[in-house]
Amino acid sequence: MDFHLTPAYGRDYKSKAEVIAAWQAGKDFILATTGQYCSIRDLKDLPNQVWIRYANLRKIIKAQ
């Protein structure tokens, strides 16, 4: 199962490097399917792929 996330609290990132830095820093993201907030702390031990949208939700990156 894949997790699709978007930045929380109105944040947006312009580059892949910003997304990865925020993810690794433990910033909150919103789980697309449920609207729940989560971070790397919640998903790091799961064997699933994590995809994060950025650049006004037009681009996507695999974070994990």
> How many domains are contained in the chain?
1
Residue 41's domain comprises 3-62
**CA gap 34, 58 in Å, rounded:** 20
Digit-coded pLDDT (tens) for 14-64: 999 999 999 999 999 999 999 999 999 988 777 789 999 999 999 999 987
pTM across the whole model: 0.89
